Amino acid sequence: MNVLEKIVNSVANFSKSERKVAEVILANPQTTIHSSIAALAKMADVSEPTVNRFCRRLDTKGFPDFKLHLAQSLANGTPYVNRHVEEEDGPEAYTAKIFESTMAALDSARHNVDINAINRAVDVLTQAKKISFFGLGASASVAHDAQNKFFRFNVPVVCFDDIVMQRMSAINSAEGDVVVCISHTGRTKNLCDIAAIARENDATVIGVTAYDSPLARECTLVLSLDVPEDTDMYMPMASRVAQLVLIDILATGFTLRRGSKFRENLKKVKDSLRGSRFEKKDSPA
Partner DNA sequence: AGCATATTTGTAATTAAATTACAATAAGTC
Partner DNA sequence: GACTTATTGTAATTTAATTACAAATATGCT
From the list DNA, a copy of itself, none, pick the one residue 15 interacts with, judged by a Cβ distance below 5 to 8 Å according to partner type: DNA
Of 5, 8, 17, 185, which one interacts with DNA (CB under 7 A)?
17
What are 7-11's contacts with CB under 8 Å, separation 24+? 7/58, 7/81, 8/81, 8/82, 10/57, 10/58
The residue (of 13 and 260) whose beta carbon lies closer to a copy of itself is: 260
End-to-end CA distance of the chain: 52
Number of residues written out for the chain: 285
Name the pairing type of β-strands 157-160 and 204-208.
unpaired
Beta strands across the sheet bearing 157-160: 157-160, 130-135, 177-182, 204-208, 221-223
CA separation (Å) from 283 to 10, 278, 280?
55, 11, 5
Residues in 145-164 at the binding interface with a copy of itself, rule: CB under 8 A: 145, 148-149, 152
Residue whose CB is less far from DNA, 64 or 156: 64
The CA distances from residue 209 to 134, 177, 213, 279, in Å, are: 12, 19, 8, 41
Q: Which stretch binds a copy of itself (CB under 8 A): 17-25, 42-50, 164-172, 277-285?
A: 277-285
Using CA atoms, how far apart are residues 282 and 285, in angstroms rounded to an integer? 9
Containing 204, the helix (H) or strand (E) segment is: strand 204-208
DSSP 3-state of 191: helix
126 binds, among DNA, a copy of itself, none (CB under 5 to 8 A by kind): none
Question: Of 180-219, which residues contact a copy of itself (CB under 8 A)?
Answer: 185, 187-190, 192, 213-214
Binding residues among 59-118 for DNA as defined by CB under 7 A:
61-65
Interaction residues for a copy of itself, span 67-126 (CB under 8 A)? 67-69, 71-77, 85, 87, 89, 91-92, 94-96, 98-100, 102-103, 106-107, 109-110, 113, 115-116, 118-119, 122
Q: Indicate which of a copy of itself, DNA, none lies near residue 196 (CB less than 5 to 8 Å, by partner kind).
A: none
Which H helix or E strand runs over 224?
A: none
Which residue type sits at 218? Answer: E
Pick the binder of a copy of itself from 19, 172, 245, 262 (CB under 8 A).
245
Q: List the interface residues with DNA, window 26-65 (CB under 7 A).
A: 36-38, 45-50, 52-53, 55, 61-65
Report 2-31 residues binding a copy of itself (CB under 8 A). none
How far out from the chain centre does Cα 185 lie? 14
**Segment 188 to 227, residues that bind DNA, using CB under 7 A:** none
List contacts with DNA (CB under 7 A).
15-18, 36-38, 45-50, 52-53, 55, 61-65
